[in-house]
Structure 1
């Protein structure tokens, strides 16, 4: 299995960051198999969604409704509502696997691989890409 750690910076706001181009470049020329995208952080997730047409903003709004940034959270260090970031990976898991056919991601027409990050306290993220040949 091939594996590599990539680094991204999400900034100081809640973010849905499209990783599709980086993952597509990484699998290029690898043949058939599966790419597994994993974020080794307790406060981030990986989603396969449409981006650019408002779905990424809709996802952040839905997570805001489900997990408000207020003082209800027992895990209370860091910025206000930080505890919700630790609950989010139960809703948006920290991983996704995508088929790769002839070195290309086999995503649907409007699907993108995205990092979902609600954590305002840690703008530096690592993402583990792993390729399992078929």
Structure 2
């Protein structure tokens, strides 16, 4: 069994989805693991990870719009130390999740044809976000 670990840093441009598939794939390819499992963890409570369609950009904007409707900004939250988008960002992160597990088959991530890995920024302003990766296999 082999394993490899790293932490990658991504700069977001504010609320939205950042496609991080290529950075993850580039790192994974150099590890020599043909069969295994890649786990990812977003190390933040106001950002998250998703596997989502990578072809139609409207999917991304529709998803962000839906999350804004489910967890709207407003004065109805007790937690607002970092502004009105603070608590809604935590709720969105809870809904979408901070970790992913992706099988590696024949040396490649077993993503579907139209799937990409996205870092979801739930805050309005740009942030630097860390994603921890652990690859285990042979």
1:77-118 per-residue CA deviation (whole Å, 9 max, x = no partner) reads 113231111122221100111111122111111011111111
Query: Where does the alignment leave 5 or more consecutive residues of structure 2 unmatched?
Result: none
Return the match for 1:111 from 109, 115, 138. 115
Contact preservation (8 Å) 1:72, 1:81:
no
CA–CA distance in 1 between the matches of 2:55 and 2:121? 17
Residue in 2 that maps onto 1:37? 40
TM-score, with normalisation over the residues of structure 2? 0.89
Residue in 2 that maps onto 1:8? 10
**What is the RMSD computed on CA atoms of the aligned residues?**
1.5
Residue in 1 that maps onto 2:80? 76
Contact preservation (8 Å) 1:49, 1:112:
yes
Contact preservation (8 Å) 2:47, 2:119:
yes
TM-score, with normalisation over the residues of structure 1? 0.91
Query: Where does the alignment leave 5 or more consecutive residues of structure 1 unmatched?
Result: none
**Deviating runs (4+, > 3 A) in structure 1?**
none
Residue in 2 that maps onto 1:46? 49
Displacement, 1:70?
1.9
